[in-house]
A and B are shown apart, each in its own frame.
Chain A
Amino acid sequence: MTGKGCLVGLKTFRSRPVSGVFLCTLLCLFVAINSGCKKRETLVERGNREGILHLSIGSEPSDLDPHTVTGLGEAKLVQTMFDPLVSFEPGTLAPVPALAASWDISADGLTYTFHLRPDAKWSDGTPLTAQDCVDSWKRILTPSLGADYAYFLYLLRGAESFHKGRNTDFSTVGAVARDARTLVVALTHPAPYFLQALLNSCWRPVNVRAIAAVGDPYRRGTPWTRPGKLVSSGPFVLKEWATQQRVVVEKSPTYYDRDRVRLNAVHLYPTDSIDAEERAFRSGQLHITYALPLSKVQPAQREKNPALRIDRQMETYFFRLNVRKAPLQDARIRRALALAVDRDTIAGKILPGGRTPAPTFVPPLLQGYTPPAGQIYNLAAARQLLADAGHADGAGLPPIEILYNNSEILRLVAEAIQQMWHRDLGLDVRLVNQEYKSVFASRRAGDYQVLLGSWTADYLDATTFLDLWRSDSGNNHTGWSDPAYDALSNRANTMADPAARAAVLAQAEALVLESAPIIPLYFNTHVYFLHPAVKGWQPTPTDHSDFRYVWLEAGK
């Protein structure tokens, strides 16, 4: 009966209204979609015309405060707004004057005297003085601020005990304003990398007076980094911060080197999906992406895409081996594992994007540091070591677990090595995959056997890598320690001669690679899209950019 009623309906239903509604809807929809349907001038085209750089910075910045931020994207933001004391020349990385016009280094390498430029100004027009730098360092070292990277400043004499609350008198710390233009810095030990380290956000001066005008400068959460309140010293000033959308910085009228700055503004976009970011680049919304999805790298290489950019980076992917867990307490077994990793296959065949095999932990990008030979692929030696340990062909060895976090690239690497160890050493290797932060929790609890991870340099020196394996390091997590290693590391810290110091550090690296609580796998690269209109884009291997040297030039 129901069907019949409907049949009747079908036949007699010839009136227009409903069809009309339907057609109208379609029409409206079509008109709505078509309202903007011309090929428009893209953001990039407009940016090229108006001198506006569109740059992606990965995830949403947690803040714009140079003292509390930790991420690479946030560092980019800081680099647009806060000037370092000393900058670098793109390409050669030679130190060049920034806030400091010149500097003297004492013969023992312990005292640095910076002469600030007389025209250095804050964006509110007030002069930037040596006392401002001292106040800024006092702020980051004040315990109540809880600054993540305050320990970078332990290089200053007395800074550690001030920061750990053992001493509340900041005049004991090795940073003194001799006069308005002269800043004298005393270090705990010679550090040839000190000038380069000054590029880090935590060393860049902030204006403590301006922060105090908004709230307590020595506590977290003072909202001074908002447009209209943020006072900075760099080539650009904050104009807009639309959370999860973009940060807009515009050319600063008070910047001492404003004549050199050729960009009128930089728009920085937090885009937490690298796929969405790649589409935004292709539709002309971005000049520079943060990273390229793995699946897009090979096609871009094949097509010789002129926008594809591969920068060498100070980042090493490596295994931590937990020496407290059987069977990895046996150095022979650890070494066997290390020698059975075919790094050429991993870096050359499995991973695209110019990544290179890592027989050592310190990337080969440092001038003056000659790394040791490291762990060279040698199956015969690996099998022999395993046999010496009483486990020829893996006999009697329990399964070994590789822990890694949810990431496409890490999964590829872990699977490849699982296969290598199984095929060549006869081991039963299992893969355990955990969420990003859960991996850190397991790592801290020592709840893993083999852990896949990476380490990124904080400054251009071997110690940023080698300090990890000191007994007192908070990032060691392997349970491995060796007094001989600590002694070498301490000795290097007392040496003022860079060449002799580098040789001692290389000895230390050889020691840790020999004992193999770590197995370096490959040196990472930064793979991204860079629009051909962007000129002068030459970040350092620690991803610092000096925006003074960047400009836009639209092609014909």
Chain B
Amino acid sequence: MFRFIARRLLQTIPVLLVIITATFFMVRFVPGGPFTSEKALPPEILRNIEAHYGLDQPLWRQYVNYLGQVARGDLGPSFKYTNRSVNEIIGQTLPVSLELGGWALLVALAVGLPLGVLAAVRRNSWLDYACSVIGMIGICVPVYVGGPLFALLFGVYLQWVNVSGWYEGIDRVLPALTLGLAYAAYIMRMTRGGMLEVLGQDYIRTARAKGASEARIVLRHALRGGLLPVVAFLGPAVAGILTGSFVIETVFQIPGLGRQFVISAFSRDYTLILGTVILYATLIVVCNLIVDIAQVWLNPKLKFE
């Protein structure tokens, strides 16, 4: 297993290199630069600024310098936030996104798994239908609709919680619910599907014939296999939930990395775009690795080759 992990980690290096290279050149070819604005800068001033950031050098040299910097763990200065480094910005915003993602994941699993199991066990009952309806609503209503609706109800009308910001514990409730419930819907439908398939298998019938209680059958025998599709889904979902919560971060004004990433693209903050892309790529690679390991652990038919 360690060899497996080591090999997978080694494989990520060329992957990251390709991603860095592609991003580096792509952002440079996008029209407009970090210092273009409504009021044009006099050329003398623009030259000073570009020299300060090394943007006056040939592109290939900037690229080589950047790779050297990244190898030393320095993602460079931000162009837009003049006195902050990319490392500092990521250090401030990533924990916020991770926390939001963590709470959302908790909500997603806490709601999605039990409902999915229940729907599978009571298939075609009113409960199953109710879960399906809730699930379809969860999948169909995008978070940028659900978020403002929650904010209106709980923040503006009832005034139980703040509708924006990330200051106190209570500020976590609405964003975590909005993001979590959207994923809960997917998890529920997958759990239901996985469970239904497993519950029809021979070994479940055997367990039942041996007189195992229904609870034991579901929790002990069926759940492990029934969760396989969910686990496969969780890899990309976790990466997405941790990093792609841009919409939620904007709707609720949360100082996370997702919001920062999108703003950096609009302001052509080259180093910040690159730093965030590198981080996201690494996160996705790591999440997928963990999922692969979990799948082997859950499914006796798979092995680390």
Partner-B contacts on A (CB < 8 A) = 1-3, 5-6, 8-10, 12-19, 21-22, 25, 28-29, 32-33, 35-40, 42-43, 59-60, 62-63, 65, 68, 70, 143-148, 150-151, 163-165, 219-226, 242-246, 269, 271-273, 275-277, 279-280, 282-285, 435-442, 444, 453-454, 456, 474-475, 477
- Looking at the complex, which one of A5, A164, A454 makes contact with B44 (CB distance below 8 Å)? A164
Q: Which of A8, A21, A38, A444 is close to B208, meaning CB atoms less than 8 Å apart?
A: A8
User: Which of chain A's residues have a CB closer than 8 A to the CB of B70?
Assistant: none
Contact among A143, A223, A279 with B83 in the assembled complex (CB-CB below 8 Å)? A223
| Known A147-B45, A276-B252, A280-B164; contact A59-B263, beta-carbon cutoff 8 A | yes
A17 B173 Cβ-Cβ under 8 A: no
Residue of A nearest to B159 (CB): A39
Interface window among B150-158, B273-281, B297-305 = B150-158
Are A453 and B38 neighbours in the complex by a CB distance under 8 Å?
Answer: yes
A220 to B52, CA, bound (A): 8
Question: Quick one: CB contact mask for B233-254 with A, threshold 8 Å, 1 for yes?
Answer: 0000000000000000011110
Contacts of B117 in A (CB 8 A): 18
Residues of B within 8 A of A8 (CB): 208
Q: How far is the CA of A151 from the CA of B41 in the complex (A)?
A: 9
State A438–B33 Cα separation when bound (angstroms). 9
Which residue among B39, B77, B123 has the maximum number of chain A CB atoms within 10 Å of its CB?
B39
Q: Which residue of B lies closest to A148 (CB)?
A: B41
Q: Which residues of B does A touch, CB under 8 Å? A: 30-33, 36-45, 48-49, 52, 77, 80-84, 89, 92-93, 107, 110-111, 114-115, 117-118, 120-125, 148, 151-152, 154-156, 158-167, 170, 173, 177, 196-197, 199-200, 204-205, 208, 213-215, 217-219, 250-253, 255, 259-260, 263, 266-268
Q: Tell me, rounded to whole Å, the shortest Cβ–Cβ distance linking A81 to chain B.
A: 15
* Nearest CB of chain B from residue A246's CB, rounded to whole Å: 8
The listed residue (B38, B152, B197, B255) touching A279 by CB distance below 8 A is: B152
CB distance from B92 to the nearest CB of A (A): 6
For the complex formed, measure the closest distance between the CB of A164 and the CB atoms of chain B, giving whole angstroms: 5
| Extra contacts besides A33-B173, A245-B255 (10): CB < 8 Å | A36-B170, A60-B263, A62-B80, A63-B83, A146-B52, A165-B44, A269-B165, A276-B250, A279-B163, A440-B36
Contact check, A273 vs B37: say whether CB atoms are below 8 A apart.
no
| Contact of B250 with A9 in the complex, beta carbons under 8 Å | no
CA distance A382 to B92 in the complex (A): 58
Pairwise interchain contact A144-B48, C-beta atoms closer than 8 A: yes
A63, B36: Cβ atoms closer than 8 Å: no
Query: Of B33, B36, B39, B44, which contacts A163 at CB under 8 A?
Result: B44
A245 touching B122, Cβ below 8 Å: no
Q: Give the CA-CA distance A143 to B46 in the complex, in Å.
A: 10
Residues on A with C-beta less than 8 A from B83 are 63, 65, 220-226
Point out the residues of chain B lying under 8 angstroms from A42, CB to CB. 159
In whole Å, how far is A201's beta carbon from the nearest beta carbon of chain B? 14
Rounded to whole angstroms, the CA-CA distance of A476 and B43 in the bound complex is 14
Give the residue of B37, B197, B214 whose beta carbon is less than 8 angstroms from that of A13: B214
Q: Contact at A10–B160, with CB atoms within 8 Å? A: no
Q: Once A and B bind, how many residue pairs between them come within 8 Å at the CB atom?
A: 230
- Whether the Cβ atoms of A143 and B44 lie closer than 8 Å is yes
B121 near A18 with CB under 8 A, answer yes
Chain A contacts for B200, CB-based, 8 A: 1-3, 5-6
Judge whether A276 and B253 touch: CB under 8 Å: yes
Given contacts A146-B52, A284-B159, contact A22 B115 (CB under 8 A): yes
* Chain B residue at smallest Cβ distance from A219: B52
Ordered by A's residue number, 22 sampled pairs between the chains whose C-beta atoms are within 8 Å are A6-B200, A9-B199, A9-B208, A18-B215, A22-B115, A37-B158, A37-B160, A39-B158, A143-B44, A146-B49, A220-B49, A220-B83, A221-B52, A224-B83, A245-B166, A280-B163, A285-B163, A285-B164, A437-B31, A437-B268, A440-B37, A475-B39
> Are the CB atoms of B199 and A272 closer together than 8 Å?
no
Roughly how many angstroms separate A13 CA and B122 CA in the complex, as a whole number?
Answer: 8
Of all chain A residues, which has the CB nearest B161? A36
A280 engages B214 (CB within 8 Å): no
> Per a CB cutoff under 8 Å, which of A12, A29, A220, A244 touches B82?
A220
Interchain CB contact (< 8 A) of A244 among B49, B93, B170: B93
Residues A436 and B114 in contact in the complex (CB < 8 Å), given A147-B45, A225-B83, A453-B38: no
A475 to B43, CA, bound (A): 12
Complex interface: chain A residues within 8 A of B80 (CB): 62
Residues in chain B near residue A164, CB distance under 8 A: 44
Please give, as numbers and ranges, the residues of chain A lying within 8 Å of B158 by CB-CB distance: 37, 39
Question: In the complex, which of the residues B38, B77, B122, B148 contacts A10, with contact meaning CB atoms closer than 8 Å?
Answer: B122
Nearest first, the 10 A-B pairs at minimum CB distance are A437-B32, A2-B200, A244-B255, A441-B31, A146-B49, A146-B48, A283-B155, A438-B31, A223-B83, A440-B36
Question: Chain A residues near B111 (CB, 8 Å)?
Answer: 25, 29
CB neighbours (8 Å) of B219 from chain A are 17-18
Contact of B92 among A70, A243, A283, A284 (CB under 8 A): A243
CB distance from A474 to the nearest CB of B (A): 5
Question: How many angstroms between the C-alpha atoms of A226 and B33 in the bound complex?
Answer: 27
Q: Which residues on the B side are within 8 Å of A219 (C-beta)?
A: 52
Q: How far is the CA of A6 from the CA of B214 in the complex (A)?
A: 11
Interface pair B45/A151, CB less than 8 Å apart: yes
Residue of B nearest to A145 (CB): B48
Tell whether A6 pairs with B260 under 8 Å between CB atoms, given A62-B80, A222-B83, A280-B164.
no
Do A276 and B82 touch (CB < 8 A)?
no
List the A side residues contacting B177 at CB < 8 Å. 33
Most chain A CB within a 10 A radius of its CB, from B38, B200, B252: B38
